[in-house]
Amino acid sequence: DVQMTQSPSSLSASVGDRVTIACRASQTISNYLNWYQQKPGKAPKLLIYAASNLQSGVPSRFSGSGSGTDFTLTISNLQPEDFATYYCQQSYSSPDTFGQGTKLEI
């Protein structure tokens, strides 16, 4: 199975900051990498699919990059509603695996 490792596990930032979350796959996954945001008690929300494609309705301050084994999610100009937990997920090979999550805190 492909193992996904996110870093950092938690991150403190302020409104207006720019933050980057990293995700590394244990083997190459091309660009089959998705990013999700989850708030407490809610279902996850797709932000980025295929490494760099912004899901419809997601603000442009979210961006994704990378291919192969190393990927990043960048959030520019942090807004209060962005404080949440973020997960990467590979969909290159079954089982589709998630990273352990990155909690973004104020």
Under the rule (CB under 8 A), what is the footprint of another protein? 1, 32, 34, 36, 38, 43-46, 48-50, 53, 55, 87, 89, 91, 94-101
Among residues 17 and 74, whose Cβ is nearest to another protein?
Answer: 74
> Whole-angstrom Cα distance, residue 66 to residue 51?
6
Give the DSSP per-residue string, 12-30.
E--TT--EEEEEEESS--T
**Closest CB 15 distance from another protein, rounded Å:** 26
**Closest CB 90 distance from another protein, rounded Å:** 9
**Closest CB 70 distance from another protein, rounded Å:** 19
Among residues 17 and 69, whose Cβ is nearest to another protein?
Answer: 69
Burial level of 11, CB count in 10 A (0-12/13-18/19+)?
A: middle
The answer, yes or no, to whether the previous bond of 40 is cis (omega within 30 of 0) is no
